[in-house]
Each structure stands twice: as C-alpha cells, then as structure tokens.
Amino acid sequence: MEGRLEPATPDYIRERVGATWAFPIISTTATYAGTDGLEGLAWRYESGEIGGLVTWFIEGDWAEIVTLDAYEQGRHIGGRLLDGAEAELRSRGARRVSITTTNDNVRAIAFYLRRGYRIVRVEVDGMERVRALKPDVPLEGSEGLPLRDMLEFEKFLT
C-alpha cells in the first residue's frame, strides 16, 4: 500500500471531523466546540484518495490527539498517522501527548497500549458528562459493551 502523510487542510479537518465525530468533541481534559486550534495529518494513497486523518491540539509541551481515524481497518494507516503526529509534535516541542477513548473501544485500548501509551486516568461514568452535551450518544457501544467510562492515555515523547 503506497501513500504518504501530508498536512491536513483546515477545510478537510472541519469537514471530516464534523461529519465523523459531531461537535463538541469531549475528552477527559477538554471540550472542542469546533476545529479552531486543531491541526492534523492525512494519509493519502497514491490514487489521491485520503485513507485517514489524525488531529491534535498543542499547548506548550503538552498535546492531545483529538481524533484518529483510519478509514479502512487492518492497513496500518492508524499507526502511520499516530507515528507522524508524534514526530510532528516532538519537533514542535511537545514532551507528552494524551489521547482519550471509551471503555467499549477495546481495539483502540490495545492499539494505544502496544504503542507505548499508559492509562493515566479513568473517568468513571464520564459518558454521562458527554451525553449531557450530546444526548444522542448511545448507552451501548462496540461489541455490545455498555458505553460508560472514559480512559485517558499518555505517552512521553523522547
């Protein structure tokens, strides 16, 4: 699979994140009402089609991966996007990066742990806070698991 990472345009970030995630995007540490302040990278296939997007917010020596989406599973695009984001953040002075997922996202939990992230916070019943702003979020998530808690992962960039 040939392709490359490239900076994602603000228009693409706004269009894709808005369609995929719906605002606001809520993590354990922040609420993102829109794409202001978000930057990112896209994975573009040789054909020109975009195969994934990672977005982040950076503040001083800390950054948060806000979204990470590989549009096709099993092609290692998520790993390439995360590697690219970490390299870009490191080059811009970020010393640590965090990312939030939910208790039902077993695939993401394993992915982050394999890539050196550590669980640093569990917001028990954090999805109640999310549902207060986004009432359409279901009670059940992937694999029929109850969608209740938010997990924050962190990695030090060296």
pLDDT tens digit string along 57-106?
999 999 999 999 999 888 899 999 999 999 999 999 999 999 999 999 99
Q: Report the predicted TM-score, pTM, of the whole model to 2 decimal places.
A: 0.94
Structure tokens at 1: 């699979």
Q: What is the mean pLDDT of residues 39-59?
A: 96
pLDDT above 90 as % of the chain:
93
Pick the residue with more confidence: 158 or 118? 118
Q: Indicate whether 1 pLDDT > 70.
A: no
149, amino acid identity: D
Name residues whose C-beta falls within 8 Å of residue 95's C-beta, 6 or more positions apart in sequence. Answer: 61, 62, 156, 157
Q: Which residue has the tokens 């390299």?
A: 87
The confidence score (pLDDT) of residue 38 equals 97
Rounded to the nearest integer, the mean pLDDT of the chain is 96
What would the CATH number be for the domain defined by 3-156? Answer: 3.40.630.30
